[in-house]
A and B are shown apart, each in its own frame.
Chain A
Amino acid sequence: MTTLAAKSLLVADSANKCAPGLPADFCHHHETTGCVGGNGLFCADWAADNIDRYVGPFFRHLEIVAISVVAGFVVALALALLSHRHRTLIPPVLGATGVLYTIPSIAFFFLLLPITGFGLWTAVIPLAAYTLQIIYRNTIAGLANVPDDAKDAGRGMGMSERQLLWRVELPLATPEVVAGLRIAIVSTVAIATLAFLAGAGGLGDALYAQPSFNTNIIMVGVLTIGMALILDLMVVLAQRFAMPWQRARPR
């Protein structure tokens, strides 16, 4: 019972003219001995020469993450606003999003396969579903933590319930909402490395192209973690610019 990884190794070995365990195109830029030939831990020269391999998968990865998180955020926010009005909805929504969160991503992809087929959506639906619980839970908590004084002040100024929600409650709940969004983004970037199994591509594709070449594995790992950190930083900066008053709030 050979696994895919073992199979790809066998294929690589038989077609290989440069070094054991590596596909022939690995010697495209470099000699057969040395770091690449010996599958060193990280061959910086190879990485620098082959950075173009990762550009396409990187931006595809970004696309998958962006669609998933935006879709998840919109649905979670809508559910949170709905259950802010109708509190009885909270336990069933938490239960349902919790069940979705429990389904392992690989199983989720392949359960959707008969329905949506290979491609972007088979990856996006599970990834978006995973973000629901964290964003929903944080939004509900954020709305619940809005001080009654602030709401009373708003009502005293003659605000309707709708105005109160958009001008007082949601702005004051943003720290919690953004905290949830950040967790959702970072974990989605990491899980999206499995999106290639659903036929959606991304950095997982680059990883699986040469799954036993250390430099490639590390490149994919570094690019994934880097993407997560950059997106996280962008959200933090956006929050500072969009809501400067929060810096003045005592923590």
Chain B
Amino acid sequence: MIVLASIIDSFTGAFDFIFHSREAVTGGGVPVGGPAYIWPFARTQLEVTAVALGGALAVGMPIGLILGHIGKGEFLAVGFGNAGRAVPEIAVIFLLASLIGIGLGNVAIALGILGLPPVLTNTYVAMRQVDPTAVQAARGMGMRSWQVILRVELPLAAPTIMAGVRTAAINIFATATVASFVGLSTLGDFVTQPAVYGNDGVVAGAIVIAVLAGLIEAALAGVQWLVTPRGLKLARASRSA
């Protein structure tokens, strides 16, 4: 019972930290906690996530679309994705911080590199999964290559591409937390600095990070649903029925 009570205490303390300002553990009347205090950290993390994801999409999607369309480079697209999973993200962040310095731009580059494999692999695989008869029909109607890509293959591949975008977004957002180790003030600051924020701040930071990750995932799941062509939804419904 005592254990349970202390666990409940930790989480009530954490929620208090999220919603109300208090004095820092280090003292000196420095106020920490409360939504207005936490928001700038969350905003930095969301900004760096958005920039990195945008970069990963700008680089990964065109390459995946073209390789998938011509059906070449499977080794590159899929192998790169598998190899990317083995890379310890924290090492990449520390190395880039050591080599090119600290800042939102540099962290965004590191995170963009980490987001690239799922985007590239999923885009490639999605393009290869498109029903070839649909592509042939489009060609038969006289569409040019770029029209086939943009008007037939891309819409049919969109759900699988979005699955890769979701993975990339969650990975990038999660790793952006680590960026506080190299001096970018993200939500990771709360969990890595118990000396300033106390145990309540640590757990509060963890809660805010987890909730924001859930919101990003839910929002992107919504986008995925929106970009899924009606025909694919109908086909899926009739298959599972």
Using CB atoms and an 8 Å cutoff, list the residues of chain A in contact with chain B: 1, 3-6, 39, 41, 99, 101-111, 113-115, 183, 186-187, 189-190, 193-194, 197, 203-204, 207, 211-214, 217-218, 220-221, 224-225, 228-229
Contact = CB atoms under 8 A, between A and B. Distances in A.
Contacts of A106: 174, 177-178, 188, 191, 206, 209
B210 A190 contact: no
Given A194-B90, A217-B94, A187 B178 contact: no
Which of A1, A39, A110, A113 has the most chain B CB atoms closer than 10 A to its own CB?
Answer: A110
A104 B11 contact: no
A114 B182 contact: no
30 contacts: A1-B189, A4-B193, A5-B183, A102-B170, A102-B213, A102-B217, A107-B213, A109-B206, A110-B191, A110-B203, A113-B203, A114-B11, A187-B86, A189-B86, A190-B85, A190-B87, A193-B88, A194-B178, A197-B191, A203-B88, A207-B88, A207-B94, A211-B98, A212-B94, A214-B98, A217-B91, A217-B94, A217-B98, A221-B88, A224-B87
B183 A3 contact: yes
Contacts of B182: 3, 5
Given A111-B210, A193-B88, A212-B94, A1 B185 contact: yes
Contact of B206 (A107, A186, A211, A221): A107
B87 A225 contact: yes
Interface residues of B, number: 45
Contact of B95 (A105, A111, A204, A214): A214
B180 A3 contact: yes
A110 B89 contact: no
A6 B11 contact: no
Contact of A107 (B95, B180, B191): B191
A190 B177 CA distance: 16
Given A183-B85, A221-B95, 8 more contacts: A5-B97, A5-B182, A104-B177, A107-B207, A111-B203, A217-B95, A221-B88, A224-B91
Contacts, number: 140
Nearest to A214: B98
A186 B82 contact: yes
Interface of B: 6-7, 10-11, 82, 85-92, 94-95, 97-99, 170, 173-174, 177-178, 180-183, 185, 188-189, 191-193, 196, 199, 202-203, 205-207, 209-210, 213-214, 217
B206 A3 contact: no
A222 to B, nearest CB: 9
B86 A114 contact: no
